[in-house]
């Protein structure tokens, strides 16, 4: 009481009020400090002005956008965008942390140097993961019918359950109760995978793949889905691991029919060369690698087939068959003066690298690498 009388008599109260107001302004004018840096992991997400039942969108964020997390409330997060705008994401799982983002970038860099083994499409909504296995961090989700480039295959443990009945796995399909599952390393690149492709790129890096402009063959039994979001906001290339049974190879018509009749589950296929078709055009000749039976096998493929074009009969014929091998991706195809050649690594009874040479319609395994022409820079082009 005495203090306020003295302060009033000396005119200090206005000064105190000014100091209090200045302190309040200093504390509340500073932007909230962020607690983490993350990246958007979905094609497109909405940024909201609040978490209230009645709220307004303040903008959209897209895959890869960098945000600063300033506050977390339950499963929601308040973030600051690169432009400084504050807003709420209703589900913080729409982001991936900086560590996973860096791992994703490193995986994409590695994938860009790998030769493409086949082209395929997703059969259903499929999660891309940073490593093979259900425990791998999810980095993106592909819609049904998305074209992808297939690069590698690995085997991981399958989830086990004491329930003998059918279950649904995290990716939305029936869970097969096998001890192992097959996973494929794929690359989704909208600018290079926007159309079905008749052949895979043999011996060329993934970033050099281009869709065919003519003679396109739909290997899928379903129509491809159209992602309008990618048309408006193109998603950058993404690489990741996906369950092999979620991918359907986009095979050329002749290869698809012959593989089906031979009960061959195709893992890789290539156009070896082209020959006159007897009608003024050219017919491609194919190498196919695959395996019968279910998933989770140790070998990437156990069978080889070479399909050549018969000008006299105007049809494809099986020129070479080999079974009971244990081959591993990648298969590398080259073209030289003696004819196309391909090679891959084997384990089991014939460990090491196996090389094959094709002269006209005759395919044989060669023992000396010097008998095969070296791979030309860039490799053959997939049509």
Inter-axis angle of helices 2-10 and 13-29, to 10 degrees?
100
Give the C-alpha separation, 11 to 18, whole Å: 12
pLDDT of residue 266 exceeding 50, the answer is: yes
State the pLDDT confidence band at 25, using cuts at 50, 70 and 90: low
234 or 332, higher pLDDT: 332
Contact 144, 158 (CB under 8 A): no
State the pLDDT confidence band at 302, using cuts at 50, 70 and 90: very high
State the pLDDT confidence band at 67, using cuts at 50, 70 and 90: very high
5 or 154, higher pLDDT: 154
Q: Which residues of 232-263 are buried (b: 16+ CB within 10 A; e: fewer)?
A: eeebebbbbbbbbbbbbbbbbebbbebbeebe
Which DSSP category does 311 fall into?
T
Give the C-alpha separation, 303 to 324, whole Å: 7
Which run of H or E residues covers position 257?
A: helix 253-261
Q: Which of 165-169, 171-175, 318-322 shows the lowest mean pLDDT across its residues?
A: 165-169
Give the C-alpha separation, 322 to 306, whole Å: 9
State the pLDDT confidence band at 258, using cuts at 50, 70 and 90: confident
pLDDT of residue 128 exceeding 80, the answer is: yes
Which DSSP category does 365 fall into?
E
Mean pLDDT over 211-215 rounds to: 29
pLDDT in tens, 133-158: 999 999 999 999 999 999 999 999 88
Contact 236, 39 (CB under 8 A): no
Mean pLDDT over 359-364 rounds to: 92
How many Cβ atoms sit within 10 Å of the Cβ of residue 302?
A: 22
Torsion of CA 360, 365, 369, 370, to 10 degrees: -50
Mean pLDDT over 293-308 rounds to: 89
pLDDT of residue 373 exceeding 80, the answer is: no
Give the C-alpha separation, 72 to 35, whole Å: 9
214 or 51, higher pLDDT: 51
| CA-only gyration radius of the chain, Å | 29
pLDDT at site 147: 94
Which run of H or E residues covers position 111?
A: helix 98-111
pLDDT in tens, 69-95: 998 888 899 999 988 899 999 998 889
Give the C-alpha separation, 71 to 292, whole Å: 52
User: Facing residues of 61 across strands?
Assistant: 45
């Amino acid at each position: 009481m005495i203090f306020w009388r003295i302060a009033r008599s000396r005119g200090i109260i206005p000064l105190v009020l000014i100091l209090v107001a200045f302190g309040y302004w200093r504390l509340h004018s500073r932007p909230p400090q962020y607690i983490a840096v993350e990246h958007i992991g979905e094609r497109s997400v909405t940024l909201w002005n609040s978490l209230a039942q009645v709220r307004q969108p303040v903008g959209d964020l897209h895959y890869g956008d960098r945000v600063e997390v300033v506050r977390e409330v339950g499963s929601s997060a308040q973030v600051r965008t690169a432009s400084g705008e504050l807003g709420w994401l209703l589900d913080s799982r729409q982001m991936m942390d900086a560590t996973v983002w860096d791992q994703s970038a490193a995986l994409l860099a590695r994938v860009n140097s790998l030769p493409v083994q086949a082209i395929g499409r997703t059969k259903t909504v499929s999660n891309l993961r940073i490593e093979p296995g259900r425990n791998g961090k999810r980095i993106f989700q592909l819609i049904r019918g998305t074209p992808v480039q297939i690069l590698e295959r690995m085997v991981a443990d399958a989830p086990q359950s004491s329930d003998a009945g059918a279950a649904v796995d995290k990716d939305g399909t029936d869970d097969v109760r096998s001890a192992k599952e097959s996973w494929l390393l794929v690359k989704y690149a909208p600018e290079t995978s926007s159309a079905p492709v008749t052949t895979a790129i043999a011996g060329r890096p993934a970033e050099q793949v281009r869709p065919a402009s003519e003679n396109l063959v739909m290997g899928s039994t379903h129509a491809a889905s159209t992602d309008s979001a990618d048309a408006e906001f193109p998603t950058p290339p993404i690489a990741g691991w996906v369950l092999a049974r979620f991918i359907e190879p986009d095979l050329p018509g002749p290869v698809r029919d012959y593989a089906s009749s031979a009960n061959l589950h195709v893992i890789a296929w290539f156009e070896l060369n082209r020959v006159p078709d007897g009608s003024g055009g050219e017919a491609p000749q194919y190498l196919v690698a695959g395996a019968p039976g279910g998933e989770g096998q140790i070998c990437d493929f156990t069978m080889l087939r070479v399909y050549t074009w018969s000008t006299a009969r105007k049809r494809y014929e099986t020129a070479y068959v080999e079974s009971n091998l244990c081959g591993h991706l990648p298969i590398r195809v080259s073209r030289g003066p003696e004819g196309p050649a391909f090679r891959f690594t084997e384990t089991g009874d014939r460990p090491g690298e196996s090389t094959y040479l094709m002269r006209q319609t005759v395919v044989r395994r060669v023992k000396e690498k010097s008998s095969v022409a070296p791979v030309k820079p860039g490799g053959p082009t997939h049509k």
